[in-house]
Amino acid sequence: MRSFSPPNSASWALFQQWKGAAGSTHHPNPSNATETMIAKLRELVTFLPLMDLRFAKTSMTDNTWFMSSLNDTHEENEPEYLYFPSEASKGRVLCIKGHDIKDGTKDSYALAWPESLPDSATLVEGLIFVSDTYYSYQNLWHGLCATAPFVRWSMKNGCLKPSRWVLFHWGEFRVQMGSWLQHLMQASFGEVRIEGFDRGDEPYCFEKAVVMRHDIAEMGKDNKLKVFDLLRCKARDFCGLTPAGRGKEVNERGVPIIRLTLLMRSGSRSFKNAAAVKRYF
């Protein structure tokens, strides 16, 4: 299992000094000493570009270019992830600044101790799901690949649910998922609240955050099947289908109705015989 890169040595030393000063009863003015240490730690928070273009050519095979200074927690056959705060992050929380929709290098991130958040930072309470994808949240399959790891992580962690979602594509800020994907996540987690960073470029820090940036690449086949089985179950319940697959709605003859929207592709990746596909369904 890999862990995060070590914190800046100067900031870690200051944090240890601050803890000692705050807990000491012999300091001439412990309140002033604590405030001084907190101010220094706040000044040492360093924001880095969300997108590191040095890894643009290897982002799918080796180093990730999203939050490139941090290494994932990797368990066999499980999705790779980052979690804040944790022992690996030295108790620090994740902060994000900026919401550029065209250039991920203009958006930035940093780690900060909860007691010394950056000036003007907004603390977002609850558990936040932060996702970065190489593809799109509008595409049915690619969107599912970006969000399925959160379903698996939740399954392993007491079915925890997010209070908000924060979405990025190549470090570029996104404010919505495709309708199908959002309804699927709603079926699994309840209300889907996507963070809009409405206060502009001021930092947003998250009380707790899970970050996924590799889609389902490292998930084992069995775990993928478990996730998709759960999503199918949640979707059927959300849509009002019985376990037998029949809808609750009936026509004038009392025959159960199942409404189906069939999505087709055109061009080189379309079905060779679209008419046969329609007849099958």
Instruction: Give residue-wise pLDDT tens across range 125-148.
Output: 999 999 999 999 999 999 999 999
Report pLDDT for 248: 65
Indicate if 73 and 102 belong to the same structural domain: yes
Q: pLDDT tens-digit profile of 160-187?
A: 999 999 999 999 999 999 999 999 999 9
Indicate if 191 and 270 belong to the same structural domain: no
Residue 246 CB contacts under 8 Å (≥ 6 apart), including other chains: 256, 258
Residue 4, helix vs strand vs coil: coil
Residue 77, helix vs strand vs coil: coil
Indicate if 151 and 275 belong to the same structural domain: no
- Helix (H) or strand (E) segment spanning residue 166: strand 164-169
**Does 3 fall in a domain?**
no
Give me the sign of the Cα torsion angle 128, 129, 135, 136: negative
**Does 80 fall in a domain?**
yes
Indicate if 264 and 130 belong to the same structural domain: no
Residue 178, helix vs strand vs coil: coil
Indicate if 272 and 187 belong to the same structural domain: no
**Does 273 fall in a domain?**
yes
Q: What is the mean pLDDT of residues 209-229?
A: 94
Q: Please provide residue 133's backbone torsions phi and psi, each rounded to the nearest 5 degrees.
A: -125, 150
Q: How confident is the model at residue 83 (pLDDT cuts 50, 70, 90)?
A: very high
Q: How many domains does the structure of the chain reveal?
A: 2
Indicate if 153 and 22 belong to the same structural domain: yes
Indicate if 253 and 125 belong to the same structural domain: no
- Helix (H) or strand (E) segment spanning residue 11: helix 9-23
**Does 160 fall in a domain?**
yes
The model carries a pTM of 0.78
Report pLDDT for 5: 37
For the chain, give the mean pLDDT: 85
**Does 26 fall in a domain?**
yes
Q: pLDDT tens-digit profile of 156-165?
A: 999 999 999 9
Rounded CA-CA distance 75/264 in Å is 37
Indicate if 207 and 253 belong to the same structural domain: no
Pair 170, 185: CB distance under 8 Å: no
Q: pLDDT tens-digit profile of 29-50?
A: 557 766 777 776 777 788 999 9
Provide the pairing of β-strand 108-112 with 172-174.
unpaired
The tokens of 143 are what? Answer: 């969107």
Axis-axis angle for helices 9-23, 30-43 (nearest 10): 160
Domain residue limits at 272: 245-280
The tokens of 45 are what? Answer: 């928070």
Radius of gyration, alpha carbons of the chain: 23
**Does 47 fall in a domain?**
yes
Indicate if 212 and 276 belong to the same structural domain: no
Report pLDDT for 12: 45
Give me the sign of the Cα torsion angle 51, 54, 55, 58: positive
Lowest mean pLDDT, pick from 1-10, 189-198, 211-220 = 1-10
Torsion, CA 249, CA 255, CA 256, CA 257, rounded to 10 = -80
Indicate if 124 and 252 belong to the same structural domain: no
Q: What is the DSSP string of 199-246?
A: TTTS-EEEEEEEEE-STTTT--HHHHHHHHHHHHHHHHHHTTB-TTS-
Q: What is the mean pLDDT of residues 5-11?
A: 42
Report pLDDT for 266: 87
